[in-house]
A = this chain, B = another copy of it.
Amino acid sequence: MKTETTIQGLAASLQPARAARKTIGFVPTMGNLHEGHLTLVREAKKICDVVVVSIFVNPIQFGPNEDFDSYPRTLDQDSQLLAEVGCDIIFAPSVEQMYGSKPRLTNISVSEITADLCGLQRPGHFDGVAVVVTKLFNMVQPNYAFFGEKDYQQLAVIRQFVRDLNIPLEVIGVPIVRAADGLALSSRNGYLSAEQRQIAPTIYQSLKAAAQALQQGETLSQVLANIKATLTAAGFVVDYVEARTTELQKIEAFSEDLVLFVAAKLGNTRLIDNLQVKHSA
State the copy count for this chain. Answer: 2
Residues 223-260 of A at the B interface (beta carbon under 8 Å)? none
User: Shortest CB–CB separation between residue A231 and chain B, in angstroms?
Assistant: 30
In the complex, what residues of B have CB within 8 A of residue A81's CB? none
What residues of chain B lie closer than 8 Å to A134, measured between beta carbons? 165
B104 and A164 form a contact (CB under 8 A): yes
B166 A7 Cβ-Cβ under 8 A: yes
- Complex Cα distance, B61 from A73, in Å, reads 43
**Docked CA distance A135–B164 (Å):** 8
> Contacting A166 at CB < 8 Å: which of B105, B107, B109, B138?
B138
- Tell which of A36-44, A50-58, A110-118, A171-179 binds the partner: A110-118
Tell me if A's interface is mostly helix, strand, loop or mixed: mixed
Q: B105 contacts A106, CB within 8 Å? A: no
CB-defined contacts of A17 to chain B, threshold 8 Å: none
- In whole angstroms, how far apart are the Cα atoms of A134 and B161 in the complex? 11
Pair A107/B109 contact, Cβ less than 8 Å: yes
Which residues on the B side are within 8 Å of A111 (C-beta)?
A: 105-107
The answer to whether A19 has its CB under 8 Å from any CB of chain B is yes
In A101-148, the 8 Å CB interface with B consists of 102, 104-113, 130-131, 134-135, 138-139, 141
- Taken residue by residue from 174 to 201, chain A's Cβ proximity to chain B (1 for < 8 Å, 0 otherwise) reads as 0000000000000000000000000000
Closest CB in chain B relative to A57 CB, distance in Å: 18
Complex Cα spacing A72 to B102, Å: 39
Interface: A160 (CB within 8 A) = yes
A21 within 8 A of B: yes
Q: How far is the CB of A108 from the nearest CB of chain B, in Å?
A: 5
B residues in contact with A7, CB < 8 Å: 166
Q: Does A167 contact B (CB under 8 A)?
A: yes
Q: In this assembly, does A267 line the interface, its C-beta being within 8 Å of a C-beta of chain B? A: no
Q: Which of B21, B135, B164 contacts A106 (CB 8 A)?
A: B164
Shortest beta-carbon distance from A58 to chain B in Å: 14
Interface residue? A63 (CB, 8 A)? no
Asked whether, in the complex, the Cβ of A106 is within 8 Å of the Cβ of B168, the reply is no
CA distance A130 to B105 in the complex (A): 12
Chain B, Cβ-Cβ closest to A104: B164
How long is the Cα–Cα vector from A161 to B130 in the complex, in angstroms?
A: 14
Are the C-beta atoms of B165 and A138 separated by less than 8 Å?
yes
Q: A102-B163, A105-B112 are in contact. List 9 more A-B contacts (CB 8 A).
A: A106-B108, A106-B130, A106-B160, A106-B165, A107-B110, A108-B108, A131-B165, A135-B165, A138-B168
